[in-house]
Amino acid sequence: MLELADSDELRVEGPIYYDLHVQVATHDVVASGSVSVLMSFCCVRCAKWFSREIREDAFLCSLPFTTDDESVDLTPEIREAIILALSAHPVCSQDCKGLCPQCGRNLNDGKCGCTSQVNDSWSALDGLKLEE
C-alpha cells in the first residue's frame, strides 16, 4: 500500500492499480504505463466527500539497477506520480455551487432562503474553519 497519508482532505479508498511495461537495461530499469487509485476527497467548496479515480497514464520512471539487485521498489515513484496527479483544490464537480456563506446550506441541494449578495466561496471556507 502506498503511504499516502490520509488526512482531513483526502483518503485512499482502494488498492493501487498499475499496468506497467518494465524494461531492464544494463544499469537501470525503466517502467512506463499507467497507475491509478481510487481516492476520496473533501470538496473545497461544499465540504462533501466524493470519490474519484486518480489516474496517471503517462507514468514513466527509471531507476538504477544492477545485477546484484533482486528487485526494484517502484512504490516511491508511483506514489510521487499519484501525488502529482492529485488536484490541489479538489471539487466534487466543476459546477459545485458550494455552501451559502450566510446559512452554510449546501447549495447543490437547492437554494436557501438567503438573499445572496456575492457568491463568495472563500467566505464559506472561512465559516467552515470557524466551526472546527
The residue ranges that bind Zn ion (CB under 5 A) are: 43, 45-46, 92, 96, 100, 102-103, 105, 112, 114
d(CA 82, CA 62): 16
What is the distance between the alpha carbons of residues 74 and 47, in angstroms, rounded to a whole number?
Answer: 33
Q: Which is nearer to Zn ion, 12 or 96 (CB)?
A: 96
Residue 116 CB, shortest distance to Zn ion, in Å, is 7
E-strand ranges in 43-89 read: 49-64
What is the closest distance, in whole angstroms, from the C-beta atom of residue 108 to Zn ion in the complex? 6
Nearer Cβ to Zn ion (11/105): 105
Q: Phi and psi for 68 in degrees, rounded to 5? A: -75, -25
Q: What's the min distance (Å) between Cβ of 47 and Zn ion?
A: 7
Indicate the DSSP class of residue 126.
H
Q: Which is nearer to Zn ion, 33 or 104 (CB)?
A: 104
